[in-house]
Amino acid sequence: MPITEQDRLAGDDPAAPPEALAGGAHATGATQRSRAKETRRQALLSAAASLFAVNGFNRVSLEDLGAAAGVSGPAVYRHFPGKQAVLGALLLSVSQDLLDGGQSVVAAAGDPASALARLVQFHVDFALSNPDVIRVQDRDFSNLSADDQAQVRALQRSYVELWVDVLAGIHSETDTADLRMRAHATFGLINSTPHSVRNHGRRMAIKSARPLLENMALAALTAPA
């Protein structure tokens, strides 16, 4: 472990025996064991998000990862086939969540203009709520296995197309490549927050960041070609 954090996330005392985890919040499995396992899995994913975000995939050892989830080293193999698979699970779930969220937002909206406004709100909210995974996604994508890369890319593509379709309903004259680039650039704008808004609150309050980002994003999206 380099030097940085690894506490703060494992809500439970790392030294506590596994049974202490059994009564955890979620985990809907039947047996006590399967619930404990699910909880541990979530702890590992959460630890991975934070550790990977801070140190980068390559500088987090399985030892670090296990320790942050209250377990040590090779125990990770009881939950994932390998280190790369942890990253895969993490990024696949993020991409899926973004896509699902985006789709339901669009489905709920009436006209394209309000759909776009809601999409922006949704994405800003997502980025401000999950800065860690956002960071990991655009820093450690290339550490995914080839298969996972393809799957994540497919999900991301769908998400982008969602935006492009909505944008096409507004800038009907503009060609798709242009709209796709607008979407990407807007993601870049919104996703910049993990860099500027520090976890330990140095820079700027999230509360005031939200409307500012929304306004900037909408302005950029509706700027003249």
Q: Is 199 in the site for its own copies (CB under 8 A)?
A: no
Do residues 133 and 49 touch, judged by C-beta distance below 8 A? yes
* Residues 31-60 as x/- pattern, contact with DNA by CB under 7 A: xxxx-xx--x------------------xx
Stretch that binds DNA, among 62-70, 120-128, 135-143, 161-169 (CB under 7 A): 62-70
Do residues 69 and 43 touch, judged by C-beta distance below 8 A? yes
Q: Which does 79 bind (CB under 5 to 8 A by kind): its own copies, DNA, none?
A: DNA
User: Cα(107)–Cα(116) distance, rounded to whole angstroms?
Assistant: 11
Identity of the residue, 16 or 212, whose beta carbon is nearer to its own copies in the bound complex: 212
Q: Is 188 in the site for DNA (CB under 7 A)?
A: no
Q: Is 11 in the site for DNA (CB under 7 A)?
A: no
User: Cα(187)–Cα(14) distance, rounded to whole angstroms?
Assistant: 37
135's CB contacts (< 8 A; 6+ apart) are: 53, 194, 195
CA dihedral 174, 175, 181, 183 (to 10 degrees): 60
- Per CB under 8 A, contacts with its own copies among 55-74 are 55-56, 58-59
Stretch that binds its own copies, among 24-32, 33-41, 68-76, 138-146 (CB under 8 A): 138-146
User: Cα(31)–Cα(13) distance, rounded to whole angstroms?
Assistant: 23
Residue 221: DSSP 8-state:
H
Cα distances from 93 to residues 89, 97, 190, 224, in angstroms, run: 6, 6, 20, 35
> Which residues of the shown chain bind DNA in the complex (CB under 7 A)?
18-19, 31-34, 36-37, 40, 59-63, 66, 71-75, 77-79, 82-84
Binding site for its own copies (CB under 8 A): 55-56, 58-59, 138-139, 142-143, 177-178, 180-182, 184-193, 195-197, 203-204, 208-209, 211-213, 215-225
